[in-house]
Amino acid sequence: MAARTLRRAVAAPAALLAALGLVAGCTGPEPTPTPTPTGTGDVAPYLDPGLPVAERVEDLLGRMTLADKVGQMTQGERSVVTPADVTALRLGSVFGGGDSMPGDGSVATWSETVAGYQAAAAATPLRIPLLYGTDAVHGHNNLDGATLFPHNIGLGAAGDPDLVERVARATAREAHATGVNWVFGPCVAVVQDTRWGRTYESFGADPDLVSALTTAVTGLQAEGVLATAKHYVGDGGTVGGVDRGDTPGTEVSRVHLAPYAAAVERGVGSVMVSFSSVDGEPMHAHRRLVTDVLKGDLGFDGFVVSDWAGIDLLDGEPGFTRDEVVASVLAGVDMVMVPQDPWRFVELLTEAVADGEVPQERIDDAVRRILTVKIGMGLFEADPVDPSAADAVGSPEHRALAREAVAASLVVLDNDGTLPLADGARVLVTGSNADDVGHQVGGWSMSWQGSSGDVLPGTTVLDGLRDALGADAVTWSADGTGAAGHDVAIAVVGEEPYAEWLGDRPDGARLGEQDEAVLARLRESGVPTVVVVVSGRPVDLGAHAWAAATVAAWLPGTEGAGVADVLTGAVAPSGRLPVPWGDRPVGYAWAGAWGSSEDAP
């Protein structure tokens, strides 16, 4: 890994290097020699930012006890571990799950929370800073007031590597404002069946497209936030769209491996393994693919992290055993995400090393990788939270970027000339997703599964149309009635929020009864109707070929005005399908979009 790509400009060593007394009431393992200054005024070499990263890492590794090392390999969840636990266990990382927003989710609360954990890490004898991770998969999506960008499926439709890098940079800046220094993204799954509930987390079905958009890695890490390529490998190769499938090894080589090679080439610092299996072997225990292929053949020299309680699944029984801990670490997992019981993980791994089941060399390799990332990022020199960065959250610049990304992501599927909307047109707007920010942002938005309503500040598609056309030209109808007398009806329909396997639809993705009823009323009215689909994947529109125009808007995020930009002609449509939609192939877009009857070249 090119460590220099992770470092951001930081203040002089201060908060994380200050002597902070132990957390009250906390007792830890056997003490590690503290890196106190020598009689000549020198500090331990690993604290000297002027030395090469590798030299600092080896100095620090040589000072660590087994307790220090096992702690660095352990990641606890914010709602379970306290700052005192961080000090006692010498944890290497803390993360927040999809439903683990601290307090009110404000910048101040986030910053206070992360700073508290970092202070606890600084209270350990070696003062090794934490990596604090979160699933900021389309913006810092558990932060109140954050800018949420289109989910990856929409960015895949835009197909613009530079745009994806700029979105990642903005995401990193908003994460940095809260002290978060690790993002569990980008997801570089190559989705092969859009019935899968994680389809919208993928950039698309084409390995070349997904590989090209690993510019997200560059964007995150250029702003000093660690990126994660996930989920290694083959998670997009589901059977029947059902999550956590078993992918043939030949399919992994042909389809799923290329984006990881691209991410490694870009210097990605971490890779998260998948819940899925390859050739019947769970990825969390797949030594050949994790150690031999990823770390060997692809040359990945960052660290590998497990997914949420991923080692628990190896034997098919609840919880994790010593055998599962040993299997995952020997396979090449360097840091283990144990959201429920990090204390037991530390105990079991320590015992396994003492008994010779896990060689000390494997522990040292894992910890060396973790420390190389931390030192390369400049974490020992950085303040845990930068108050001056708070203005980035939800800034006008970020919202303008999100609006640009939304407009670029729209794919016109059909159009008889109704789009763009004519000047002076009287427009009826309806549909379940026309005036609902929660539906626009989808899952992974202030909660794991997402929810309806005003979950975050933003503009809906209805808001955008009113702003663009004037309030007098736009009529809102919740149920699609009252279309008579209007020139055009715009029905914004689609899916409600979901995430992961709870969004699997083996029987196919379809519109709900409410939206079907709205479309039936509009068809009966005879008013030319534009169907805008807000969804995380293609939905069945076979019964609605009668519509004057159909537009895929994916999950646009907080800036619904970007949809209106295309509908009104302020921005020409440029998106292409990143996945098949019915009989339309990857890469499809209506030629010229406006009134043409030929497919795009």
- What would the pLDDT profile of 492-534 be if each residue is shown by its tens digit? 999 999 999 999 999 999 999 999 999 999 999 999 999 999 9
205 within a domain of the structure (yes/no): yes
Residue 8's pLDDT is 41
Q: How far is CA 194 from the centre of its chain?
A: 18
Residue 41's pLDDT is 52
597 within a domain of the structure (yes/no): no
- From the list 77, 193, 235, 307, the catalytic residue is 307
**Alpha carbons 412 and 531: distance in angstroms, whole number:** 10
State both tokens at 531. Answer: 């169907």
My answer on whether 191 and 335 are in the same domain is yes
Through-space distance between the first and last CA atoms of the chain, rounded to whole angstroms:
39
My answer on whether 357 and 317 are in the same domain is yes
My answer on whether 359 and 268 are in the same domain is yes
Q: How far is CA 600 from the centre of its chain?
A: 31
What mean pLDDT comes out for the span 277-287?
98
Residue 594's pLDDT is 56
CATH of the domain at 498: 3.40.50.1700
pLDDT tier, 9 (very low <50, low <70, confident <90, very high otherwise): very low
My answer on whether 382 and 415 are in the same domain is no
The residue from 364, 391, 418 where one domain ends is 391
State both tokens at 420. Answer: 């763009």
- From the list 160, 334, 463, 500, the catalytic residue is 500
**Alpha carbons 328 and 282: distance in angstroms, whole number:** 10
Residue 592's pLDDT is 61
Query: For residues 578, 579, 583 and 589, what is the CA-based torsion angle, rounded to 10 degrees?
Result: -10
Q: Is the pLDDT confidence value at 469 over 50?
A: yes
List, as one string, the DSSP characters of 161-183.
HHHHHHHHHHHHHHHHTTT--EE
Q: Helices (DSSP H) in 377-419: which residue ranges?
A: 396-409
pLDDT in tens, 292-334: 999 999 999 999 999 999 999 999 999 999 999 999 999 999 9
For the chain, the residue count is 601
Residue 42's pLDDT is 75
Residue with tokens 């600084």: 122
What are φ and ψ of residue 468, in 5° steps?
A: -80, -40
Q: Are 518 and 502 in contact (CB under 8 A)?
A: no
Residue 21's pLDDT is 25
Q: Nearest to residue 532, comparing CAs of 491, 581, 569, 565?
A: 491
Q: Nearest to residue 273, comparing CAs of 346, 331, 316?
A: 331
My answer on whether 73 and 206 are in the same domain is yes
My answer on whether 386 and 472 are in the same domain is no
pLDDT in tens, 523-563: 999 999 999 999 999 999 999 999 999 999 999 999 999 99
Number of domains in the chain: 2
Q: Is the pLDDT confidence value at 35 over 80?
A: no
Q: Is 307 a catalytic residue?
A: yes
The residue from 345, 362, 391 where one domain ends is 391
574 within a domain of the structure (yes/no): no
580 within a domain of the structure (yes/no): no
My answer on whether 304 and 427 are in the same domain is no
My answer on whether 231 and 364 are in the same domain is yes
400 within a domain of the structure (yes/no): no
Counting Cα atoms < 13 Å in the Cβ hemisphere of 244 gives 13
556 within a domain of the structure (yes/no): yes
Query: For residues 167, 227, 338 and 281, what is the CA-based torsion angle, rounded to 10 degrees?
Result: 110
26 within a domain of the structure (yes/no): no
Q: Are 189 and 148 in contact (CB under 8 A)?
A: no
Q: Are 169 and 223 in contact (CB under 8 A)?
A: yes
Q: Nearest to residue 275, comparing CAs of 215, 198, 217, 342?
A: 198
Q: Are 26 and 87 in contact (CB under 8 A)?
A: yes
CA dihedral over 41, 44, 49, 55, signed as positive or negative: positive
pLDDT in tens, 37-58: 433 457 899 999 999 999 999 9
pLDDT in tens, 410-444: 999 999 999 999 999 999 999 999 999 999 999 99
Collapse the DSSP code of 188 into the 3-class scheme (helix H, G, I; strand E, B; otherwise coil) and give the result: coil
Residue 150's pLDDT is 99
pLDDT in tens, 357-404: 999 999 999 999 999 999 999 999 999 898 889 999 999 999 999 999
My answer on whether 414 and 517 are in the same domain is yes
Please give the residue that has the higher pLDDT: either 111 or 40.
111
Q: Which domain range does residue 342 map to? A: 3-18+60-391
Collapse the DSSP code of 519 into the 3-class scheme (helix H, G, I; strand E, B; otherwise coil) and give the result: helix
Q: Are 308 and 265 in contact (CB under 8 A)?
A: no
Work out the burial of residue 271: count CB atoms within 10 Å of its CB; fewer than 13 is exposed, 13-18 middle, 19 or more buried: buried
**Alpha carbons 225 and 527: distance in angstroms, whole number:** 50
Q: Are 120 and 92 in contact (CB under 8 A)?
A: no
Q: Is the pLDDT confidence value at 143 over 70?
A: yes
Residue 396's pLDDT is 98
pLDDT in tens, 149-158: 999 999 999 9
Computed over every residue of the chain, the mean pLDDT equals: 92
My answer on whether 387 and 414 are in the same domain is no
My answer on whether 382 and 477 are in the same domain is no
Q: Is the pLDDT confidence value at 7 over 60?
A: no
Q: Is 500 a catalytic residue?
A: yes
What are φ and ψ of residue 328, in 5° steps?
A: -70, -40
Residue 232's pLDDT is 98
**Interstrand relation of 336-337 and 529-534 (parallel, antiparallel or unpaired):** unpaired
Residue 340's pLDDT is 92
Residue with tokens 């266990």: 89
CATH of the domain at 387: 3.20.20.300
Q: Is the pLDDT confidence value at 284 over 70?
A: yes
State both tokens at 122. Answer: 């600084």
Identity of the residue numbered 579: V
My answer on whether 317 and 462 are in the same domain is no
590 within a domain of the structure (yes/no): no
Query: For residues 451, 440, 467 and 481, what is the CA-based torsion angle, rounded to 10 degrees?
Result: -80
Work out the burial of residue 395: count CB atoms within 10 Å of its CB; fewer than 13 is exposed, 13-18 middle, 19 or more buried: middle
